């Protein structure tokens, strides 16, 4: 059985693994009010992630308070908004479409 320190270390390792598979972008890159701050976008398009201390601001200025709790996962220091919710899927789509047009 794992002790509390081992569990905490495992959670930190998981958090770092998730961070490695994301791109750091501004809220504007996702089509949101810049007051939302910085997001991490999953490279596979499955979620966007914010620092848990920014959640209230992101929910208010980004309209993410309407995302169902079943589509939100809190992991250690981050909050993940899953693309299963239409609002999140549209944000990710906006990001990828505009990222591609910037590269043309």
**Per-residue confidence (pLDDT) for residue 3, from 0 to 100:** 87
pLDDT digits (tens, 9 = 90+) for 87-101: 999 999 999 999 876
Helices (H) and strands (E) in the chain, counts: 3, 5
pLDDT digits (tens, 9 = 90+) for 12-63: 888 888 999 999 999 999 999 999 999 999 999 999 999 999 999 999 999 9
pTM given for the model: 0.88
22 three-state secondary structure: strand
Residue 103 pLDDT class (50, 70, 90 cuts): low
Total tally of structural domains belonging to the chain: 1
Task: With a cut of 90, say whether residue 66 has pLDDT above it.
Answer: yes
> Which residues fall within 8 angstroms of residue 79, CB to CB, at 6 or more apart?
49, 50, 51, 52, 55, 58, 72, 73
Task: With a cut of 80, say whether residue 2 has pLDDT above it.
Answer: no
Q: Give the residue numbers spanning the domain of 83.
A: 4-103
């Amino acid at each position: 059985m794992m002790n509390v320190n081992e569990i905490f270390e495992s959670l930190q390792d998981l958090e770092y693994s998730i961070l490695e598979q994301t791109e750091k972008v501004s809220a504007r890159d996702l089509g949101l009010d810049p007051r939302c701050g910085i997001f991490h976008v999953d490279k596979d398009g499955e979620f966007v992630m914010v620092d848990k201390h920014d959640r209230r601001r992101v929910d208010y200025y980004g309209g993410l308070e309407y995302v169902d709790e079943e589509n939100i996962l809190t992991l250690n220091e981050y909050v993940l908004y899953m693309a299963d919710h239409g609002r999140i899927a549209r944000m990710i789509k906006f990001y990828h479409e505009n990222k591609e047009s910037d590269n043309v």
